[in-house]
């Protein structure tokens, strides 16, 4: 028995010296020793021929041999196939990685998501509405009198008489109030259109987020608190801001919100807002003696331009890869 074990050991030693490099040959070498009909299996099968009292000793010898051979074999093949590829000397780690091309989400969408998340966190819901709407929902119901200079505030694209490309998402205010009972707490994002010459600071369309809150006791202080929270979430706690009196037909009092630009040393207008005008409530059948509210509107591109430092609004709509891939 002893000799047989020796013989296996020697044969193994010899094979180690000429250890194959080909994976398939390694596999056949492996089965030569460790396989179902391999050398070790044969040794175990000879156990029956040994006198019973020597069997434990012989068993231990064969097991030891098996363990030793396994260790040596695994180490040798690991050295050959795994480590060989993995050692620093054999890997040119300065090669570039395999590229996985990734795309980007448009900065307007990204900014909108940020805006939505802020307002959702303070109980606002999100509603959407039509881009083509009738004059009534875009203007008249919002207290823009038919022949009033207020109509000049927004240069309008007409589809036909009394049908327009909405100039703001405020049209959805009216749809919402027509179809829902107060109280309400909504923001309305969407694409809006202005018939203005295209330049670095104005495009024929942009994206707006309109906000509307209606409840019994809503004050200008509520409006200020909400928008201060929003502006600070977007531009940081240290932002300097002011509410400046302004005019919108559908809110009264109305305000514009400016933030201070330290670099340019000037105030920059970022949104318009105000208390919902009672005439608007009357138009949708809400009793203005009971219901009060505030509304606000902001341009997403404007916020994105300030956040990212973009100075030409046209870049948003050009699809230039060198622009898109930065976001």
- Give the footprint of another protein on residues 214-253 (CB under 8 A): 215, 217, 219-222, 224-226, 228, 242-247, 252-253
Site pattern 139..158 for another protein (x: CB under 8 A): --------xxxx-xx---xx
Q: Is 264 in the site for another protein (CB under 8 A)?
A: no
- Residue 276 structure tokens: 């919902």
CA distances in angstroms from 53 to 41, 48, 56, 62, 191, listed in the order given? 21, 12, 7, 16, 93
CA distances in angstroms from 194 to 39, 143, 156, 172, 177, listed in the order given? 87, 19, 6, 17, 25
Q: Is 205 in the site for another protein (CB under 8 A)?
A: yes
Which residue from 52, 96, 236, 285 is in contact with another protein, where contact means CB under 8 A? 96
Least distance from C-beta 29 to another protein, angstroms? 28
Which residues make Cβ contacts (< 8 Å) with residue 188, sequence separation at least 6?
A: 126, 127, 128, 129, 169, 170, 172, 173, 176, 209, 210, 211, 212
Which window, 44-52, 64-72, 81-89, 126-134, contacts another protein (CB under 8 A)?
A: 126-134
Q: Is 134 in the site for another protein (CB under 8 A)?
A: yes
Residues in 281-320 at the binding interface with another protein, rule: CB under 8 A: 292, 316-320
Which residue from 210, 277, 297, 304 is in contact with another protein, where contact means CB under 8 A? 277
CA within 13 Å, CB half, 7: 8
Q: Is 165 in the site for another protein (CB under 8 A)?
A: yes
d(CA 178, CA 275): 18
Q: Is 321 in the site for another protein (CB under 8 A)?
A: yes
Least distance from C-beta 21 to another protein, angstroms? 24
Smaller CB separation from another protein, 148 or 201: 148
Residues in 11-50 at the binding interface with another protein, rule: CB under 8 A: none
CA nearest neighbour of 277 among 298, 253, 257: 253
Residue 13: alpha-carbon gap to chain centroid: 60
Which residues make Cβ contacts (< 8 Å) with residue 302, sequence separation at least 6?
A: 206, 270
Smaller CB separation from another protein, 19 or 136: 136
Which residue from 7, 16, 126, 268 is in contact with another protein, where contact means CB under 8 A? 126
């Amino acid at each position: 028995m002893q000799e047989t074990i020796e013989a296996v050991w020697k044969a193994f030693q010899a094979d180690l010296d000429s250890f194959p490099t080909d994976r398939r040959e390694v596999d056949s070498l492996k089965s030569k020793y460790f396989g179902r009909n391999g050398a070790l299996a044969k040794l175990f099968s000879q156990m029956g021929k040994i006198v019973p009292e020597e069997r434990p000793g012989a068993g231990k010898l064969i097991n030891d041999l098996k363990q030793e051979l396994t260790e040596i074999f695994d180490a040798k093949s690991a050295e050959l196939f795994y480590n060989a590829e993995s050692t620093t000397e054999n890997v040119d780690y300065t090669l570039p990685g395999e590229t996985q091309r990734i795309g980007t989400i448009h900065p307007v969408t990204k900014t909108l998501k940020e805006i939505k998340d802020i307002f959702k966190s303070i109980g606002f819901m999100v509603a959407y509405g039509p881009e083509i709407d009738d004059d009534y929902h875009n203007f008249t119901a919002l207290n823009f009198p038919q022949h009033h200079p207020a109509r000049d505030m927004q240069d309008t694209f007409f589809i036909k008489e009394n049908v327009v490309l909405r100039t703001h998402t405020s049209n959805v205010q009216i749809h919402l109030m027509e179809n829902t009972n107060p109280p309400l707490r909504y923001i309305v994002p969407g694409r809006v259109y202005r018939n203005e010459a295209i330049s670095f600071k104005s495009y024929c369309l942009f994206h707006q987020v309109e906000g509307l809150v209606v409840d019994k006791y809503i004050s200008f202080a509520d409006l200020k608190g909400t928008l201060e929270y929003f502006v600070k979430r977007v531009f940081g706690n240290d932002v300097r801001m002011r509410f400046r009196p302004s005019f919108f037909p559908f809110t009264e009092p109305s305000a514009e919100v400016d933030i201070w630009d330290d670099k340019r040393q000037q105030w920059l207008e970022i949104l318009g807002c105000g208390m919902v005008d009672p005439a608007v409530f009357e138009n949708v059948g809400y009793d203005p003696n009971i219901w009060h509210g505030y509304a606000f509107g902001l341009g997403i591109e404007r916020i994105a331009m300030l956040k990212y430092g973009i100075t030409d609004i046209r870049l948003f709509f050009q699809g230039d890869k060198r622009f898109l891939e930065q976001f």
